[in-house]
């Protein structure tokens, strides 16, 4: 099966491409660095020729409110149009657990717009909402740092390893479209401030983490269960302690997501 991974050079995309190839699929990593740009449409028709499935794990290079909205609206519109022309039978997109509960945030308004366009299109689809990645904890500290302390709300949090996200996406991509939303999450719940504190300690990052009930998450007010998935969520296997001891955890990933 030919499967095009939009954002195939990214954290999740690069893992997904490897897993799909291991299972014998023709997986194409598509992104600006390989000449495929969903914002401009460059290279899309050629990349999608003969594809059965498209998995969109791209992310906006800018997180400024207007830029991120423009990214997800324009790239999703271009993708769905080219998929219809190419006869693609399954559009899979990666979104975030709790997206609809965080519309105060410009980033999550953009993800809502992305999900809505997919649901309204004629292409069969699966929206996969994941909880935060373990790899994202350091970046979460960076965006929650006020120059003195890292301020995070003490809410529940059920993050997962990027590797488990890619495995779940791979299984869904080769299966029938669910024409709905699937939630995936990690095997354990933590308090957000506690886990970021542990992550910084493991990185020997001296910044102090404060539990601040007024602190925002990516610009949105969150309550105890905003970030946690439903009971029906499919759970990854990798525990945080196990992930911490793996070498990947020693290298903070490059971008905020």
Ligand X SMILES: NC(=O)c1ccc[n+]([C@@H]2O[C@H](COP(=O)([O-])OP(=O)(O)OC[C@H]3O[C@@H](n4cnc5c(N)ncnc54)[C@H](OP(=O)(O)O)[C@@H]3O)[C@@H](O)[C@H]2O)c1
Measured distance CA(29)–CA(45) in Å, rounded: 14
Closest CA to 134 of 220, 224, 196: 196
CA–CA distance, 47 with 158 (Å, rounded to integer): 35
Task: Identify which of residues 197 and 206 has a Cβ nearer to ligand X in the complex.
Answer: 197
Span from 27-35, 45-53, 210-218, 243-251 in contact with ligand X (CB under 6 A): 27-35
Establish if 142 lies at the interface with ligand X (CB under 6 A).
no
| Binding segment (CB under 6 A) for ligand X, from list 8-16, 170-178, 215-223, 230-238 | 8-16
Q: Are strands 156-157 and 190-191 parallel, antiparallel or unpaired?
A: antiparallel
Burial of 146 (C-beta count, 10 Å sphere; 0-12/13-18/19+): exposed
Q: Does 228 bind ligand X (CB under 6 A)?
A: no
Q: Which is nearer to ligand X, 123 or 140 (CB)?
A: 140
Q: Which of residues 86-125 bind ligand X (CB under 6 A)?
A: 94, 96, 111
* Residue 192 makes contact with ligand X by CB under 6 A: no
Calculate the dihedral angle through the C-alpha atoms of 37, 42, 45, 48, rounding to the nearest 10 degrees: -20
In the bound complex, what is the minimum distance in angstroms from residue 77's beta carbon to ligand X? 12
Q: Is 144 in the site for ligand X (CB under 6 A)?
A: no
Quick one: tokens of 248?
Answer: 């990947």
Residues that bind ligand X (CB under 6 A): 6-7, 9-13, 31-33, 36-39, 57-59, 61, 75, 94, 96, 111, 130, 132-133, 136, 255, 257
């Amino acid at each position: 099966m030919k499967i095009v991974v939009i954002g195939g050079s990214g954290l999740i995309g690069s893992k997904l491409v490897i897993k799909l190839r291991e299972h014998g699929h023709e997986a194409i990593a598509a992104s600006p660095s390989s000449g495929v740009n969903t914002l401009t449409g460059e290279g899309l028709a050629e990349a999608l020729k003969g594809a059965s499935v498209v998995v969109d794990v791209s992310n906006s290079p800018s997180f400024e409110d207007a830029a991120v909205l423009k990214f997800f609206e324009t790239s999703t519109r271009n993708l769905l149009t080219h998929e219809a022309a190419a006869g693609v039978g399954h559009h899979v997109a990666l979104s975030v657990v709790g997206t609809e509960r965080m519309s105060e945030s410009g980033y999550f308004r953009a993800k809502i717009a992305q999900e809505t366009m997919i649901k309204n299109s004629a292409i069969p689809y699966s929206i996969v909402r994941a909880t935060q990645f373990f790899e994202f904890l350091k970046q979460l500290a960076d965006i929650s740092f006020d120059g003195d302390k890292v301020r995070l709300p003490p809410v529940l949090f059920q993050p997962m390893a990027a590797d488990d996200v890619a495995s779940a996406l791979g299984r869904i991509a080769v299966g029938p479209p669910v024409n709905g939303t699937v939630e995936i999450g990690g095997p354990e719940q933590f308090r957000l401030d506690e886990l970021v504190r542990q992550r910084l300690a493991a990185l020997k990052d001296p910044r102090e983490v404060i539990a601040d009930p007024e602190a925002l998450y990516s610009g949105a007010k969150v309550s105890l269960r905003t970030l946690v998935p439903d009971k029906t969520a499919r759970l990854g296997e990798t525990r945080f302690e196990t992930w911490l001891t793996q070498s990947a955890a020693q290298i903070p990933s490059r971008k905020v997501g």
